[in-house]
């Protein structure tokens, strides 16, 4: 089971390195933009739930992304304590560039696994994820 953790760690490290080389966003920032890509106008708390991380972590990344003009936030008219986040055109370009790099790297990493085995692994992990969600 340790191999699952080690694989994730090494992949994340490789992706972080490749994204850094491209002088784009970090992998963590990519994940925030991914959450916005999947939920175009959403809140910080929704992103934290989506990524299963703390709101404090999300807040730190949002501040960096906002400073870089990759996203904007507006006060929610229904709940003034809540802010709605939106990806900017610049953020969309950064996300798209990072996504291309990540897809290329993951293809390279996983090409050592035959396609049929990848399908079995995906199905197995989907089952594990479903079981873990049932226990939440």
- pTM equals 0.85
Low-confidence ranges of the chain (pLDDT < 70): 136
Residue 136 pLDDT? 62
Number of independent structural domains in the chain? 1
Domain extent, residue 14, equals 2-134
Phi, psi (5° rounding) for residue 82? -100, 145
Half-sphere exposure of 9 (CA within 13 A, CB side): 5
Give the pair of three-digit tokens for residue 109: 């990493």
- Confidence (pLDDT) at 31: 95
Yes or no: say if 26 and 19 are a contact pair by the CB < 8 Å rule: yes
Residue 30, domain CATH: 1.10.10.10
Q: Are the CB atoms for 36 and 46 separated by under 8 Å?
A: no
The strand pairing partners of 77, in sequence order, are none
- Cα separation, 62 vs 114, in Å, equals 38
């Amino acid at each position: 089971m340790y191999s699952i953790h080690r694989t994730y760690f090494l992949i994340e490290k490789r992706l972080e390195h490749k994204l850094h080389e491209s002088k784009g966003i970090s992998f963590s920032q990519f994940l925030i933009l991914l959450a916005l890509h999947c939920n175009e106008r959403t809140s910080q708390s929704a992103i934290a739930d989506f990524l299963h991380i703390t709101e404090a972590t999300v807040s730190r990344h949002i501040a960096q992304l906002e400073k870089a003009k990759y996203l904007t936030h507006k006060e929610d008219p229904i709940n003034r304590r809540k802010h709605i986040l939106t990806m900017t055109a610049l953020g969309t370009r950064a996300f798209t560039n990072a996504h291309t790099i990540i897809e290329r790297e993951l293809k390279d990493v996983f090409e050592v696994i035959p396609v049929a085995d990848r399908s079995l692994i995906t199905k197995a992990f989907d089952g594990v994820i479903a079981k873990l969600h049932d226990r939440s």
